[in-house]
Amino acid sequence: MPVAPCAGQIFKSRGLKARRLVCFVHLCYQNEMALTYTPAGTLGSECPDFTLPSVDGKTYSRSDFLRVKGLVVMFICNHCPYVKAIEDRIIQLAHDYTPQNIQFLGICSNDHKDHPEDAPAQLLQRWSEKNYGFPYLIDEEQTVAKAFGAVCTPDLYLFDSALRLRYRGRFDDSWRNPANVHKRELREAIAALLEGRSYLEQHPAMGCSIKWKTP
């Protein structure tokens, strides 16, 4: 098992807070969760086409969302601690903006061979228990993740009514602790979209790398 880099130095110099961080880093290593940051989004680029099954057996395509004011596409999964940390915030955001014709979509593209929590049956169970309130799609062949250029969970995109990219970045500025949040970038980007304003402040999201299938 790999060892988190510079762990000993952090323990000596940083105290309890750092020890907690090191424990989290070791957890990521134990679960092969490579920390990944999203690249900058190309604002104005078109939402890739897709047709995918949802966890509840329905099928959704890009063409189903031609009349929305905005489309939030979120590459998420069950097992990733970064997603778990903001899961309730995602659900609340969808609850707040769905009545304003902002459509939310979750997509799981992970290979669940080594991560059984991300298997379709487990996704359905989580979706039902947490009452997501938006479709949760299964990208079994990982072609949609590749078309979007998604790299990690969570990887978050906001498209406008013309399905052009308006935001790609982090959910907010404190994924770990909602009490420390000062900037709610995805919420602010949606509000700007609804008000006809641009939103140019885009910081990368970070999370566990998407678990790609091996050839």
pLDDT digits (tens, 9 = 90+) for 90-133: 999 999 999 999 999 999 999 999 999 999 999 999 999 999 99
- Tell me the C-alpha distance between 113 and 99, whole Å: 37
Number of CB atoms found within 10 A of residue 175's CB: 21
Question: 174-206 pLDDT, tens per residue?
Answer: 999 999 999 999 999 999 999 999 999 899 999
Range with the lowest mean pLDDT among 17-26, 33-42, 76-85? 17-26
pLDDT at 24: 44
H or E stretch covering 189:
helix 185-194
Query: Residue 81, by phi and psi: left (phi above 0), alpha (psi -120 to 50) or beta?
Result: alpha
Could you tell me if residue 182 is inside a domain?
yes
- Answer yes or no: do 12 and 63 share one domain: no
Secondary structure string (H, E, C) spanning 81-104: HHHHHHHHHHHHHHHHHHHHCEEE
**Average confidence (pLDDT) over 156-162:** 98
Q: How many residues are recorded in the chain? A: 215
Residue 96 is encoded by which pair of tokens?
A: 């707040």
Report how many domains make up the chain: 2
- Tell me the C-alpha distance between 106 and 198, whole Å: 24
E-strand stretches of 25-69: 35-37, 51-53, 59-61
pLDDT at 141: 97
- Answer yes or no: do 18 and 39 share one domain: no
Tell me if 68 sits within 8 A of 101, measured CB to CB. yes
Residue 213 reports pLDDT greater than 60:
yes
Tell me if 205 sits within 8 A of 169, measured CB to CB. yes
- Tell me the C-alpha distance between 27 and 106, whole Å: 25
pLDDT at 89: 98
Q: Global pTM?
A: 0.85
- Answer yes or no: do 89 and 26 share one domain: no
pLDDT at 33: 57
Mean pLDDT over the full length of the chain? 88
Question: 32-67 pLDDT, tens per residue?
Answer: 458 999 999 999 999 999 999 999 999 999 999 999
- Answer yes or no: do 117 and 13 share one domain: no
Residue 18 reports pLDDT greater than 90:
no
The CATH number linked to 148 is: 3.40.30.10
- Answer yes or no: do 56 and 94 share one domain: yes
- Tell me the C-alpha distance between 205 and 155, whole Å: 6
Residue 49 is encoded by which pair of tokens?
A: 């086409």
Could you tell me if residue 215 is inside a domain?
no
The residue range of the domain holding 23 is 1-30
